[in-house]
């Protein structure tokens, strides 16, 4: 698929190195749970042994089309979100990589409706073949629900004011249908904002996360990783905002300690399922070359021997 939009993979070498535990000819089955435009996938394949395998997941049809360009018998992709990770057999995977960022072609293509920088339909669905768009949801959503979404997923302190403006606009002139309409409405409602940040940033993030159930899917995928990872298998997750990173951090912390049952003080504790290994940020050079990487955090953990 030829498009004018390109994507620079964030933390490419660091993520692949962590996932493959330094191996230059890794065997076993690995999972790229968020294929995107295939930067991580191609780098993993370059380091797999002939008997290695890579399974990718992505619910974006454009990503699946990009994956079709990879002619490697060791590679396969599923047109599914990574919550479907649990469909793989238990203890069958040597490593799972999750890159939670939105790809540049998604952001920069006005038709997808992800960005306030371009005028386009207010869509924001990762999978455009199913579900309702943000515009369709806003056409009927109640004020309280809109406010809760903006507050909870955007961490926006003006959530109620923005929700009221959206509902008032809907009653006066009809529902919002484009990214520009939403961005201008938010800018007219939010009177103060952090220097250098567009007033609509948090609202756009909130609606994208909500319409794609991103946090719920992340939680499901993390839990599934415990089942599919082999002992010694690696989990590597790249997050881009505090809501995602908090979930990943708490998940790893929860499963990196022994749990005692206070009701049975003499019983053996439940063994920990993960060893927390690393927390990696992009280098200054990477941030200079790709400003979109500045908020990325890579967290790495390893499945313990106990299953």
Tell me the whole-structure pTM to 2 decimals.
Answer: 0.90
Distance CA 173, CA 12 (A): 46
User: Among 10-24, 68-82, 175-189, where is mean pLDDT lowest?
Assistant: 10-24
Q: Which structural domain, as residue segments, surrounds residue 241? A: 12-104+214-303
**Which pLDDT band holds residue 1 (cuts at 50, 70, 90)?**
very low
Residues 91 and 145 in one domain: no
**Which pLDDT band holds residue 77 (cuts at 50, 70, 90)?**
very high
**Which pLDDT band holds residue 86 (cuts at 50, 70, 90)?**
very high
Q: Mean pLDDT across the stretch 281-290?
A: 94
Is 118 part of a structural domain of the chain?
A: no
C-alpha distances in Å from residue 282, one per residue of 10, 18, 199, 277: 8, 14, 26, 17
**Which pLDDT band holds residue 262 (cuts at 50, 70, 90)?**
low
Distance CA 35, CA 37 (A): 6
Q: Mean pLDDT across the stretch 227-249?
A: 96
What percent of the chain lies above the pLDDT cut of 90? 79
Distance CA 165, CA 108 (A): 27
Residues 220 and 100 in one domain: yes
**Which pLDDT band holds residue 307 (cuts at 50, 70, 90)?**
low
pLDDT at 294: 92
Residues 219 and 207 in one domain: no
Residues 187 and 228 in one domain: no
Tokens 């990943």 belong to 248
Residue burial 105-140, b: 16+ Cβ < 10 Å; e: rest: bbbbbbebbbbbebebebbbbbbbeeeebbbbbbee
Q: Are strands 75-78 and 229-239 parallel, antiparallel or unpaired?
A: unpaired
pLDDT at 27: 93
Q: What is the mean pLDDT of the chain?
A: 91
Distance CA 219, CA 135 (A): 26
Residues 93 and 236 in one domain: yes
Is 117 part of a structural domain of the chain?
A: no
pLDDT at 2: 41
User: Distance between the two ends of the chain, CA-based, in angstroms?
Assistant: 42
Residues 207 and 245 in one domain: no
Q: What is the pLDDT of residues 144-198, one digit of tens each?
A: 999 999 999 999 999 999 999 999 999 999 999 999 999 999 999 997 777 778 8
Cβ(46)–Cβ(25) under 8 Å?
Answer: no
Residues 221 and 204 in one domain: no
Residues 99 and 18 in one domain: yes
Q: Mean pLDDT across the stretch 252-256?
A: 94
State the Cα angle at 35 between 34 and 41, rounded to 5°.
120
**Which pLDDT band holds residue 263 (cuts at 50, 70, 90)?**
low
Cβ(88)–Cβ(228) under 8 Å?
Answer: yes
**Of 193 and 143, which is predicted with more confidence?**
143
């Amino acid at each position: 698929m030829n498009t004018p939009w390109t994507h620079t993979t964030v933390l490419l070498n660091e993520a692949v190195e962590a996932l493959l535990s330094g191996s230059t000819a890794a065997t076993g089955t690995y999972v790229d749970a968020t294929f995107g435009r295939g930067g991580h996938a191609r780098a993993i394949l370059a380091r797999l042994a002939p008997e290695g395998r890579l399974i990718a997941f992505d619910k974006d049809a454009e990503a699946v089309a990009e994956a079709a360009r990879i002619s490697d018998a060791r590679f396969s992709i599923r047109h599914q979100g990574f919550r479907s990770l649990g469909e793989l057999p238990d203890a069958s995977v040597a490593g799972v990589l999750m890159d939670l960022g939105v790809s540049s072609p998604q952001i920069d293509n006005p038709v997808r409706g992800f960005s306030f920088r371009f005028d386009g339909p207010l869509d924001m669905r990762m999978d455009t073949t199913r579900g309702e768009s943000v515009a369709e949801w806003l056409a009927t959503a109640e004020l309280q629900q809109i406010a809760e979404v903006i507050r909870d997923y955007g961490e926006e302190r003006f959530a109620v004011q923005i929700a009221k403006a959206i509902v008032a606009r809907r009653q006066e002139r009809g529902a919002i249908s484009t990214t520009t309409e939403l961005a201008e409405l938010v800018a007219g409602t939010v009177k103060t904002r952090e220097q250098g940040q567009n007033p609509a940033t948090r609202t756009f993030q909130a609606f994208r996360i909500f319409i794609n159930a991103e946090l719920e899917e992340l939680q499901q995928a993390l839990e599934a990783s415990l089942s599919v990872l082999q002992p010694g298998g690696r989990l590597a997750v790249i997050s881009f905002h505090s809501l995602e990173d908090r979930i990943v951090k708490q998940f790893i912390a929860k499963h990196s300690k022994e749990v005692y049952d206070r009701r049975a003080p003499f019983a053996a504790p439940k063994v920990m399922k993960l060893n927390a290994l690393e927390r990696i940020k992009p280098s200054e050079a990477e941030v200079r070359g790709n400003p979109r990487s500045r908020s990325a955090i890579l967290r790495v953990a390893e499945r313990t021997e106990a299953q």
